[in-house]
Every structure is written in structure tokens, then in C-alpha cells.
Amino acid sequence: DGGITQSPKYLFRKEGQNVTLSCEQNLNHDAMYWYRQDPGQGLRLIYYSQIVNDFQKGDIAEGYSVSREKKESFPLTVTSAQKNPTAFYLCASSITGRLKDSNQPQHFGDGTRLSIL
């Protein structure tokens, strides 16, 4: 079945370490997104990519980095500069970067929960 795979499901990080969250999709979607969700809150956009080798900052990009070397992959690195990284991270993809063009604007993965040791 086509879909989005996020791994790992749970991730622990020590203070001062960088950690990378994986997101892979086999939907042949052009656009991919990373969101952060804190307890009791909505999703906030970290980064998005509308096409391979291109990406833009979202609302809360500080302390994060991404790459988009392949269409199917959009890994997110949480750097040591992110002072409060404990959260639930959701990856999403869409057929195009223009979400008006599709009845299903975004497909979501199952998320990764990141905690600080």
C-alpha cells in the first residue's frame, strides 16, 4: 500500500545531541512537510519542500534543518540549537505544492515522539 513511513516511532535524545527523524513516502508526491505538535496544541509547520532540492522555512524553523535530495525522502534534523525539542513530529506529503489542486490536501505519517533524556 502507498503511504508515508516515519521512523522511529519513539526517539530519545541526550542534551546537546543532534538527532534525525526519517520520513519516506511512496506516493510519488512532489511536496513534503514537517509539523511539530505539542500537548493539547495544534500542528505548527517547521519546514516544507515543494520539489526535490528545494525547501522553505515554516513558522518555527529555528533549531531544525532538512534536506530533500530524493523525491521520496525528507529527513528532519533536530539540532542542539533547538532548546525545547520534546514534542510529537508529523510528516506529510501532497501531490503538488498547491494544496488547492487536490481533494486530499495532505497525507500524514503516524508520527515520531521525541523526548529528551
Partner 1 sequence: AQTVTQSQPEMSVQEAETVTLSCTYDTSENNYYLFWYKQPPSRQMILVIRQEAYKQQNATENRFSVNFQKAAKSFSLKISDSQLGDTAMYFCASLNNAGNMLTFGGGTRLMVKP
Query: Interface with partner 1 by CB under 8 A: which residues?
Result: 31, 40-45, 48, 50, 58, 88, 90, 92, 97-101, 103-106, 108, 110-111
Closest CB to partner 1 among residues 14, 100: 100
Q: Name 62's Cβ contacts closer than 8 Å, sequence gap at least 6.
A: 81, 82
- Write down the least CB distance from residue 48 to partner 1, Å: 7
- Write down the least CB distance from residue 99 to partner 1, Å: 5
> Distance between CA atoms of 74 and 93, rounded to whole angstroms?
10
Extract the C-alpha cell encoding 12.
530519545
Closest CB to partner 1 among residues 75, 97: 97
Closest CB to partner 1 among residues 13, 108: 108
Across 8-101, the runs of DSSP E, i.e. the strands, are 10-13, 19-25, 31-37, 43-51, 54-57, 64-66, 76-78, 87-94
Extract the C-alpha cell encoding 72.
521520496
- Write down the least CB distance from residue 73 to partner 1, Å: 19
- Write down the least CB distance from residue 72 to partner 1, Å: 19
